[in-house]
Amino acid sequence: MSDVPEHGAGTEPVRILAPDGSPVGDADVGLSPEELRALLRWMVLARRLDRECIALQRQGELTVYPGFEGQEAAQVGSAFALGQLDFVWPTFRELAAALVRGVDAVQYLQYHRGTWHGGPYDPRATRFGPICIPIATQLPHAAGYALGQRLDGTNAVTIAYFGDGSTSEGDFHEAANLAGVWRLPMVLFCQNNGWAISLPSSEQTAGEIWRRAEGYGFPGVRVDGNDVLAVHRATERALERARRGDGPTLIEAMTYRIGAHSTADDASRYRDDAEVEHARVTDPIMRFRNWLLATGIADDRFVMACDEEAETYALEVRAGVIATPAPPADWMFDWVYAAPPSSFERQRAEALG
Ligand SMILES: Cc1ncc(C[n+]2csc(CCOP(=O)(O)OP(=O)(O)O)c2C)c(N)n1
Ligand SMILES: [Mg+2]
């Protein structure tokens, strides 16, 4: 099996399920029926939580929140393929991947509540790095981490998430170049969701992102990011390749940001509702659910149970977020200097009175 699928002109993404859920490729990606059902369960949980977070922000319980509706398959399909020791370097939009990784949602959301920097979850416990707001800065860190994994003699892999807009940053180039030159055990996972805030990807990049891998000396693949099976298979192949010592892979998952960039953004100022409605046709959850039901791997009862569980879960997370107190004010001084200068001590005394 080739690591690099053949692409025709215009580069249709690799796809297993058509938008209506009918198979157009080999749907046997090596997952058991239970694992396949788990993919749906995670996507449903993630979407329900995402909507709850937007409501929480509107109610003043979160400061700002970047939604990921439409990107569930890209995140769940890729995160589900990871091994326990693999390490994730996320952006700020990977809550769905974080859930799959076992990150506690209430802890994660403390970042968006403004109670702690980067979320108070322990990145080492679930191997899910801190939320990263500065675009693409996690990518050189990820490359360095991948080098460390190899020096440690493990066969663990680093996966770094980033968006289409992030590929215009020098940090992307530097990380990809290092990954190629050092054949790092790394997966560069781009979620091309069509937008970088208000800039459409057509104005971001003249070429195709997946093709850039060739210039760095490793394979790239464009995959239908709303097809959870295709995403899973592409990620698994990239992970296997990295574990074999053959180096990195760039995956460009074609998806769509259904919501605004964040709760601080009004997307109606720069894009047509018609575009969003069109994108809903390719909805990742509907597609996969249709396939699961058609194959008999899941039935209506399972689908309903997922919805009910997601409802309960979202309310539990809401309660947990609201119950999270502000941390002691002195913490904001505690973590700045190893040896605080006197001016800083003065400010501390003033602030804490
Ligand atoms: C270095 C830097 N420049 C600018 C910004 C402001 N900013 C936040 S998100 C974003 C767009 C990112 O687009 P993309 O990489 O496609 O990710 P998406 O938001 O679509 O998930 C920008 C420019 C930032 N956070 N960091
Ligand atoms: Mg984007």
Rounded Cα distance, 148 and 156, in Å: 10
**Cα-to-centroid distance, 60 and ligand 1 (Å):** 23
By mean pLDDT, which of 48-57, 180-189, 201-210, 320-329 is the weakest? 320-329
Rounded Cα distance, 298 and 37, in Å: 7
pTM, 2 dp: 0.94
Q: Active-site residue 261, yes or no?
A: yes
Q: Which ligand minimizes its atom distance to the CA of 91?
A: 1
Q: Which domain holds residue 275?
A: 33-322
In this predicted structure, what is the pLDDT of residue 333?
87
* Lookup: tokens for 105: 């949602």
Any domain includes 327: no
Within a 13 Å sphere around the CA of 60, how many CA atoms are in the beta-carbon half? 0
In this predicted structure, what is the pLDDT of residue 60?
97
In this predicted structure, what is the pLDDT of residue 7?
40
Atom of ligand 1 nearest to the CA of 136: 1
For a pocket test of ligand 1, which of 68, 93, 135 has the largest count of ligand atoms closer than 8 A to its C-beta?
135
Any domain includes 241: yes
In this predicted structure, what is the pLDDT of residue 55?
98
In this predicted structure, what is the pLDDT of residue 204?
94
When mean pLDDT is compared over 106-115, 294-303, 333-342, the highest value belongs to 294-303
**Cα-to-centroid distance, 91 and ligand 1 (Å):** 9
In this predicted structure, what is the pLDDT of residue 116?
74
Any domain includes 3: no
Q: Is the pLDDT of residue 174 over 90?
A: yes
Any domain includes 347: no
Query: Distance between the two ends of the chain, CA-based, in angstroms?
Result: 67
Q: Is the pLDDT of residue 201 over 50?
A: yes
CATH number of the domain bearing residue 301: 3.40.50.970
Mean pLDDT of the chain: 95
Q: Is the pLDDT of residue 278 over 60?
A: yes
Work out the percent of the chain whose per-residue pLDDT is above 90: 90
Any domain includes 341: no
| 114 burial via Cβ count (<10 Å: 0-12, 13-18, 19+) | exposed
Q: Is the pLDDT of residue 233 over 50?
A: yes
Q: Which ligand minimizes its atom distance to the CA of 132?
A: 1
Residue 348: pLDDT band (50, 70, 90) is very high
**Total structural domains in the chain?**
1
Q: What are phi and psi of 259, to 5 degrees?
A: -90, -170
The one catalytic residue in 41, 93, 261, 289 is 261
| 3-state DSSP assignment of residue 287 | helix
Q: Is the pLDDT of residue 119 over 80?
A: no
- 310-344 tens-digit pLDDT: 999 999 999 999 998 888 888 888 878 999 999 99
Contacts of residue 235, defined as CB under 8 A and 6 or more positions apart, other chains included, come to: 77, 78, 81, 82, 159, 187, 189, 251
Atom of ligand 1 nearest to the CA of 193: 20
Rounded Cα distance, 96 and 90, in Å: 11
- 40-93 tens-digit pLDDT: 999 999 999 999 999 999 999 999 999 999 999 999 999 999 999 999 999 999
Taking the alpha carbons of 243, 244, 246, 251 in that order, is the dihedral positive or negative?
A: negative
Q: Is the pLDDT of residue 8 over 90?
A: no
For a pocket test of ligand 1, which of 72, 138, 197 has the largest count of ligand atoms closer than 8 A to its C-beta?
197
Q: Active-site residue 257, yes or no?
A: yes
Rounded Cα distance, 288 and 281, in Å: 13
Residue 115: pLDDT band (50, 70, 90) is confident
Any domain includes 349: no
**Cα-to-centroid distance, 280 and ligand 1 (Å):** 23
Q: Active-site residue 58, yes or no?
A: no
User: Cβ(251)–Cβ(221) under 8 Å?
Assistant: yes
Q: Which residues line ligand 1 (CB under 6 A)?
A: 91, 93, 133-135, 162-166, 193, 195-197, 257, 261
Q: Which ligand minimizes its atom distance to the CA of 131?
A: 1
Residue 5: pLDDT band (50, 70, 90) is very low
Q: Is the pLDDT of residue 33 over 70?
A: yes
Any domain includes 336: no
Any domain includes 11: no
Report in angstroms the alpha-carbon separations of 325 from 67, 106, 320.
24, 12, 10
Atom of ligand 1 nearest to the CA of 195: 20
Rounded Cα distance, 280 and 42, in Å: 19
Taking alpha carbons only, the member of 224, 225, 280, 288 closest to residue 22 is: 288
Atom of ligand 1 nearest to the CA of 192: 16
Q: What are phi and psi of 289, to 5 degrees?
A: -60, -45
